[in-house]
Amino acid sequence: MISGKVVLTCAQPTGKLHLGNYLGAVKHWADVSANNECYFGIADMHAITVAYNPTQLRANVYECLAQYLACGIDPEKSAIFPQSGVIGHTELAWILACLCPIGMLERMTQYKDKSEKQKGFIGSGLLYYPVLMASDVLLYNADIVPVGEDQRQHMELCRDLAQKFNQTYSDTFTIPEALISKSGARIMSLQDPYSKMSKSDPNQSGVLYMIDSADALKKKIMSAVTDSDSYVKFAEEKKGVSNLMTIYSVFTGKNFQEIENEFEGKGYGDFKKSVADVVISSLNPIREKYLKYIEDKNFLDSILQKGIESAQRRANKILFKARRKAGFYQPLKEK
């Protein structure tokens, strides 16, 4: 367990969190926040690199915050804030962009993948995205950045830009370390166990959302793809069953051998029912808290405002130093 560090992580407000988001990231944030100075950014500026609805984006920020609170993130211990609410993210991003070779951005795997999938107009923000992400991290001089495996390449760029700034102007930024969770990080679709669980899955029956009702969770799990066998075993050729075993393992703490022993001689129906029971008992309290929080917009606004003020105080210190090192004019302070 890390302790005494500055921890920063940002996630886009994409509406409902699914089980993969929770087990791979959010569940661990609450643990990390206990002994560290934590900043949890809701990355609404990153969310506009693709076509979006402004009204829905604002609503998603509230939904994201309510789900974070329901998952156990304590606003008294951590700053939870919308990225767009803190001055400095885009200003530092411009300084870093001027140090970043464009070839490094063009080689980013996510840029190549998304630009291929995105038909028609492609905004330059999609290319520039990793620089803004680097700015998100360096603006708080974070020591640790919890991210998913898919962000590893972006974090390497962030470290490179921090080092380049330090070499160009003098030591300013901490070189951050990526914290990539191993437990529960690869939850697959219930309908296509060869693909990661994703909000964009065309078959929503394969996605377990944190705020799904008990009936919805049970229906999705009971209809999960398995195979033509009838025995519970963790194996490469049994992707669907192995995925359900992974979910069951995370919530019960049992290893795969213990799960196989538990369901020896039993069919998939019994196994799926047990998976559904542990998922529902674990997620229902989160759903109930979410439904309470999302109805109290004034409370959510107060949390966001407090988070903005806390994040801005730290960002101001780092931005002032970076501006001075880069040679920018520093406005006179008010007397």
Could you tell me the fold of the domain covering 6-185+296-326?
A: Rossmann fold (3.40.50)
pLDDT at 185 over 90: no
Percent of the chain with pLDDT over 90: 77
Could you tell me the fold of the domain covering 204-292?
A: Tyrosyl-Transfer RNA Synthetase (1.10.240)
pLDDT at 223 over 60: yes
Q: Residues 22-39: pLDDT tens digits?
A: 887 788 788 888 889 999
The phi and psi torsions of 147 (rounded to 5 degrees) equal: -140, 165
Q: Which helix (H) or strand (E) holds 80?
A: strand 78-82
The arithmetic mean of pLDDT across residues 210-239, rounded, is 95
* Bridge partners (DSSP) listed for residue 146: 179
Kindly tell me the burial class for residue 88, based on how many C-beta atoms sit within 10 Å of its own C-beta (0-12, 13-18, 19 or more): buried
pLDDT at 15 over 70: yes
Query: Annotated catalytic residue: which of 114, 233, 266, 306?
Result: 114
Q: How confident is the model at residue 40 (pLDDT cuts 50, 70, 90)?
A: very high
pLDDT of amino acid 183: 53
pLDDT of amino acid 238: 96
pLDDT of amino acid 96: 98
Q: How confident is the model at residue 246 (pLDDT cuts 50, 70, 90)?
A: very high
Q: How confident is the model at residue 335 (pLDDT cuts 50, 70, 90)?
A: very low
The arithmetic mean of pLDDT across residues 125-135, rounded, is 95
The arithmetic mean of pLDDT across residues 100-128, rounded, is 85
Q: State how far the Cα of 187 lies from the Cα of 198, in Å rounded to an integer.
A: 9
The arithmetic mean of pLDDT across residues 7-18, rounded, is 89
* β-sheet with 78-82: strand ranges across: 78-82, 37-42, 6-11, 144-147, 177-180
Q: How confident is the model at residue 182 (pLDDT cuts 50, 70, 90)?
A: low
Q: How confident is the model at residue 333 (pLDDT cuts 50, 70, 90)?
A: low
pLDDT of amino acid 30: 80
Q: What is the pTM of this model?
A: 0.88
Two tokens at 332?
């006179």
Known active-site residue 220: no
pLDDT at 334 over 60: no
The arithmetic mean of pLDDT across residues 207-214, rounded, is 95
Query: Any idea which of 87-101, 174-188, 309-323 has the lowest mean pLDDT?
Result: 174-188
Q: How confident is the model at residue 79 (pLDDT cuts 50, 70, 90)?
A: very high
**What single letter denotes the amino acid at residue 102?**
I
DSSP label of 88: T
Query: Annotated catalytic residue: which of 16, 164, 199, 266?
Result: 199
Q: How confident is the model at residue 118 (pLDDT cuts 50, 70, 90)?
A: confident
Known active-site residue 196: yes
The arithmetic mean of pLDDT across residues 285-307, rounded, is 97
Query: Any idea which of 48-57, 184-193, 236-245, 287-296 has the lowest mean pLDDT?
Result: 184-193
Listed by start position, the domains of the chain span: 6-185+296-326, 204-292
pLDDT at 122 over 80: yes
Known active-site residue 112: no
Q: Residues 147-171: pLDDT tens digits?
A: 877 788 999 999 999 999 999 999 9
Query: What average pLDDT does the structure give for the chain?
Result: 92
The arithmetic mean of pLDDT across residues 96-100, rounded, is 97
Query: Annotated catalytic residue: which of 5, 27, 196, 272?
Result: 196
Q: State how far the Cα of 15 lies from the Cα of 204, in Å rounded to an integer.
A: 14
Q: How confident is the model at residue 14 (pLDDT cuts 50, 70, 90)?
A: confident
pLDDT at 279 over 90: yes
3-state secondary structure (DSSP) of residue 39? strand
